[in-house]
Amino acid sequence: MSQICQITGKKAMIGNNVSHSKRRTKKKFSPNLVDKRFYLPEEDRWIRIRVSTQAIRTINKNGLKNTLEDAKAKGFITKY
C-alpha cells in the first residue's frame, strides 16, 4: 500500500539528515498515516480510508462528508 494520505495528499519527502559536524546524508521523511474506519451516517455505512493524523483533525473540524467531497474534487480519492 502506498504511503499517501487519501484526504490531504501528503506523501513521503526526501531531505537531509544533518549531523553535529554538518555532514549530510539523505533521509526519507514518512507521513504519519493511520488506517481508520469512519461512519458515514448519510449512507448508513462504514468506510475505511488511509489518512494522516492531520486529516483526522480536519475531518473532526469540517465533517466527514464535506472533507470527502473536497478530497474527491482535488483528485486525492476517486470513490468512497
Q: What is the pTM of this model?
A: 0.82
69 burial (CB, 10 Å; 0-12 / 13-18 / 19+) is middle
Domains and CATH numbers, the chain: 13-74 (2.30.170.40)
The model's pLDDT over 1-59, given as tens digits with 9 standing for 90+, comes to 689 999 999 999 999 999 999 999 999 999 999 999 999 999 999 999 999 999 999 99
pLDDT of residue 35: 96
pLDDT at 80 over 90: no
